[in-house]
């Protein structure tokens, strides 16, 4: 995988100054420079040390009083309360779509996200709480709780809906720092940090690689099964048409097989019809691991052998353990924790009052060709050992 960082055309919004005052005082308490029960310097002394206005310091202290970290005694001063460790950590929200929750028993995407952020957000300094949201109820399900609990920052896996975009803008108005674990096209209009893996923006590039790969291995009866609606479908149709035109092949209009979906369930019976003996292709490219697993089940029931009878690949596969053989797909399993780690790192920078050097980090997965694809030219299943011997396999890696 390649990582490309691009400067943003917009500047990162400066963190609120009272937040910086609050953070500095909290850091001194955490480090023991201001011991429990001890009296804090006066607001004027703190303002002079931090080079900010005393009224700004007062607002930061009010935040700590509300959080229960500092006790204000009128006419006496501010004192550090005898606090327990949970009260000392920075509260961070991990905001995930509820389809990850529904599929958690057999889908590791949420676990892969945790794996990445746990490398950065240690338990001594940060407390991460998971909030789930319905794609059309972002604020009602998660945002309102996060506001009430005075959470300082949020790591968000955003769906492409107006509900989520509105919620992110409200976070910004509240001074809650946000880093998005994935990018979508709606975020282009917002001043928010995100990690773009290409899953929602340039998947057509990976699909083109897969399509070119199976065509180069001699397949001519190819189908591509993708969920619908999907904002990238028009671009994908164009890519399919371009690939077939460049190779002087007929039938580009019959390649795409749309699977009606509403983000929670899909009409996968369409795949069953496509695998009838009279209509079955020699190669099937599906959108994700869910469709791939369904195809494997259908193949088992109908005694269809992968890859001898049907070559199979997926545009996205976050659960390789679900398949009976290694599935040709981009290497998302290693990319996702890395993407989440980068988002967490940038969130910490914002919490420390630093501006991220870029507003979007772009990562790209590479296709991993495995034995699920049969090479019709030579008659054998394709594997990494035979990569150099197959014409058309020298495809570019790492798209920025």
Range of the domain at 51: 17-85
Same domain, yes or no: 140 and 228: no
What is the mean pLDDT of each successive set of 10 residues along the chain, which is 400 residues long?
Answer: 39 54 82 83 90 88 84 89 66 92 72 94 84 94 92 94 95 95 93 94 95 96 95 95 96 95 84 92 95 95 96 93 92 93 96 89 94 84 45 34
Query: Last residue of a domain, which of 35, 67, 85?
Result: 85
Same domain, yes or no: 61 and 136: no
In the numeric block, the tokens 């480090």 are attached to: 31
Same domain, yes or no: 239 and 301: yes
Domain count within the chain: 3
Do residues 24 and 202 touch, judged by C-beta distance below 8 A?
Answer: no
Distance of CA 85 to the CA centre of its chain: 30
In sequence order, what are the beta bridge partners of 39?
79
203: which 2 tokens?
């998947």
Query: Last residue of a domain, which of 50, 85, 120?
Result: 85
Domain assignment present for residue 323? The answer is no
For residue 28, what is the domain's CATH number? Answer: 1.10.10.10
For 197, 198, 205, 244, 367, the CA distances from 399, given in Å and listed in that order, are 10, 9, 8, 21, 11
Q: Please give the pLDDT value at position 23.
A: 83
260-299 residues labelled b (16+ CB within 10 A) or e (exposed)? ebebeebebeebeebbeeeebbbbbbbbbbbbbbbbbebb
Same domain, yes or no: 304 and 242: yes
Same domain, yes or no: 103 and 165: yes
Same domain, yes or no: 120 and 47: no
Same domain, yes or no: 215 and 275: yes
Same domain, yes or no: 244 and 157: no
In the numeric block, the tokens 């002394």 are attached to: 45
Domain assignment present for residue 35? The answer is yes
Same domain, yes or no: 70 and 105: no
Do residues 376 and 282 touch, judged by C-beta distance below 8 A?
Answer: yes
51: which 2 tokens?
């080079």
pTM of the model: 0.74
Same domain, yes or no: 258 and 375: yes
Same domain, yes or no: 126 and 162: yes
Q: Please give the pLDDT value at position 225.
A: 97
Same domain, yes or no: 26 and 140: no
Domain assignment present for residue 344? The answer is yes
For residue 259, what is the domain's CATH number? Answer: 3.40.50.2300
Do residues 384 and 370 touch, judged by C-beta distance below 8 A?
Answer: yes
């Amino acid at each position: 995988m390649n990582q490309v960082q691009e400067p943003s055309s917009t500047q990162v919004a400066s963190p609120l100054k009272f937040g910086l005052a609050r953070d500095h005082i909290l850091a001194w308490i955490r480090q023991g420079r201001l011991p429990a029960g001890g009296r804090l310097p006066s607001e004027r002394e703190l303002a002079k040390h931090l080079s900010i206005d005393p009224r700004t310091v007062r607002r930061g202290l009010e935040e700590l009083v509300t959080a229960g970290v500092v006790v204000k005694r009128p006419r006496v001063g501010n004192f550090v309360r005898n606090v327990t460790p949970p009260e000392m950590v920075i509260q961070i929200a991990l905001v995930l779509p509820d389809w990850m929750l529904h599929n958690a028993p057999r889908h590791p995407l949420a676990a892969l996200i945790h794996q990445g952020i746990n490398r950065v957000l240690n338990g001594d300094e940060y407390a991460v709480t998971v909030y789930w949201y319905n794609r059309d109820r972002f604020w009602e399900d998660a945002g309102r709780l996060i506001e009430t609990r005075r959470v300082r920052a949020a790591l968000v896996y955003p769906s492409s809906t107006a509900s989520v975009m509105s919620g992110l803008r409200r976070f910004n108005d509240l001074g809650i720092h946000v880093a998005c674990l994935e990018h979508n096209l709606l975020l282009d209009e917002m001043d928010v940090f995100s990690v773009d893996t290409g899953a929602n923006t340039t998947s057509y590039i990976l699909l083109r690689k897969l399509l070119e790969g199976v065509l180069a291995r001699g397949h001519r009866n190819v189908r591509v099964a993708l969920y619908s609606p999907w904002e990238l479908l028009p671009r994908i149709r164009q890519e399919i048409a371009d690939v077939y035109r460049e190779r002087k092949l007929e039938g580009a209009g019959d390649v795409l097989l749309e699977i009606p979906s509403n983000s929670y369930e899909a009409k996968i019976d369409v795949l069953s019809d496509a695998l009838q003996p009279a209509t079955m292709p020699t190669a099937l490219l599906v959108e994700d691991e869910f469709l791939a697993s369904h195809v494997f089940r259908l193949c088992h029931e109908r005694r269809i052998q992968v890859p001898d009878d049907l070559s199979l690949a997926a545009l996205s596969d976050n659960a390789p353990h679900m398949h009976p053989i290694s599935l040709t797909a981009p290497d998302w399993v290693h990319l996702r924790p890395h993407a989440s780690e980068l988002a967490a790192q940038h969130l910490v920078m914002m919490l420390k009052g630093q501006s991220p050097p870029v507003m979007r980090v772009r990562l790209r997965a590479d296709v991993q060709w495995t034995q699920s694809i049969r090479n019709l030219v030579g008659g054998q299943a394709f594997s990494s050992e035979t990569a150099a011997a197959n014409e058309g396999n020298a495809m570019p890696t790492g798209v920025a």
